[in-house]
Structure 1
Amino acid sequence: MLLRSSQSTKRVRLWGVPDSRMKWLWLLCGIGIYGGVLGGYLYVKYTQPVTNLAQEPLRSFGFVTLVLILFAASYSLRRRLLRALPGKVQSWLWMHIGLGTTTLLVALMHSDFAGITHAFLVQWSDLLRAYAGPGALLALFVLVLSGVLGKLLDMFYTGRIVREAGTNGVGIAPTVEERVQELTEAVERLCAGKSEAFKSFCRLALRGQRDAQRTVAVAPVEHQDFQRVREILRKRASLLSSLRRMRHAERLMRRWRCVHVVLSLLAFAVILYHCCMQILVILHVI
């Protein structure tokens, strides 16, 4: 009985995010949208010559791209503003990823793969032709690429945080901070009424200016408490090291999200300009 209980206490707690089946739904949704658009593109490509991007269905592909962009951008509204909307944030994230990737593929067909198979960009001014059409496509590509890289960074650093939480003996960062505070208070209580050498050692160790494994000359009656303090400081230093690694991972992920948000705003501005100008052309306003 004692052996079983000791084994259970040594069992490492696993930390992680539950998997979402919504990713498969949005993957199938993206494949379905792309398959439908691809079918229309191939039908036109092999049945009639494509002379300009205003020709159907290439023009309609542009509207499909805009709708997909708006749906993909709704994830930011759900995460930051409209938190009362139904569904978990993780499910909305998979929608964001699935539709965001599909958007780029549909946009390539809308441009008839200009700049990739023909009409190559020779100079920077080529990005502004067709009312910044190539620039909008490039902005969308950079945006999707930053999102993919951000997701890979999230997977890597989330795994690192999970491993830290599972091996530090306490858990995630907020719990570690609480435990560090408890250990700090325990050291301060043990310092009460002790000699100046004892207190000085504890103060320097709490500030990280002294190794907790070093010994100092203390009174014989303080040896037992001194050993307890050293053990507490050792645990505290280990938790602080784990906390720094987790906070570092969180900080990198947060900074990359900020980069992605800035890129999304710039890309949306270019894409919106291109869409508005094309609509004005269709309406024969310009």
Structure 2
Amino acid sequence: MMERLYVLEEADIQEFVGVNHANLVTLANLFPKTKLRIHQNVIKVLGEPQAAEDLLQILAQLEAVCTRYNQLTESQIIEVVQAYRSPKASPKTPAETSDVLIYGVHGKAIQPRGENQRRMVREFTSKDLCFATGPAGSGKTFVAICLAVKALKAKQVRRIILSRPAVEAGEKLGFLPGEMKDKLDPYLQPLYDALGELIPAPKLKDFIDTGVIQIAPLAFMRGRTLNDAVIILDEAQNTTPQQMKMFLTRLGANSKMIITGDFTQIDLPRGIRSGLSDALDKLHSLSSISFIHFDRCDIVRHPLVSEIVEVYDRKETNESKDS
């Protein structure tokens, strides 16, 4: 009897093995001359030499499926095994179109919605710096994070760096208890929420613990050179011109940067110009930078959000005319 080891490196372990190790049970039934044991991310294969070798090949293919679709089902396992045993057959994959950007948690297909989101996806491949501005709910930050996660999975970059200015939204929170992470997490929670839609929780924790995904306030960016990364600055309307210049000059080799913001939600003290507005004015003539402007028709949250934004915009326009 041969003993071989297979190390899960990319796929989420819980998704791969299934509830109560159901996926390993399915594999054991399909390969009755082998036995499977798992400890942490290492799968031990015991069995006759040829059966063990075949199962190792199957495990590699299944990990690729699980990594791509963020799920592994019994039907997918059976299809991969059948295709391996009958090379003329090809395993079926979940129905998808060329418009699918990435698969989220539990295999949810995520597609860009609207022309500006599709343009953002297209220009990410050709431009190293993208400014995406527009109203709340237009999907700017979510699409940016999807692009970053997709690049990480494809090994085009080694890490993702997400940042936000730690500016209170119109209220004074006062002293926040706890360590530095506890104080900063409330400002960064929207980024955690978006990542949680795309990466299973255990894998996301591992990425954060090992620094593959870094989430930090803007102030922590000074002095860094960010190579081999997708770098996202969210809520950029709340930066100062000095902060924006500092952030833009962090861009390193083999890196891409996406900057998102909404000019209607500036929380800076009165009299301080937004660094996002300043950057757009100074850089608008550079053809090597992508500038994408979303509007109310791009809002993809609850339909009521679009109506709310329209009412607020109309009210603010009238007030500015009266003043």
TM-score using structure 1 length: 0.25
* Higher fraction of strand: 2
* Higher fraction of helix: 1
Larger RCO: 1 or 2 (CA < 8 Å, sep 6+):
1
TM-score using structure 2 length: 0.23
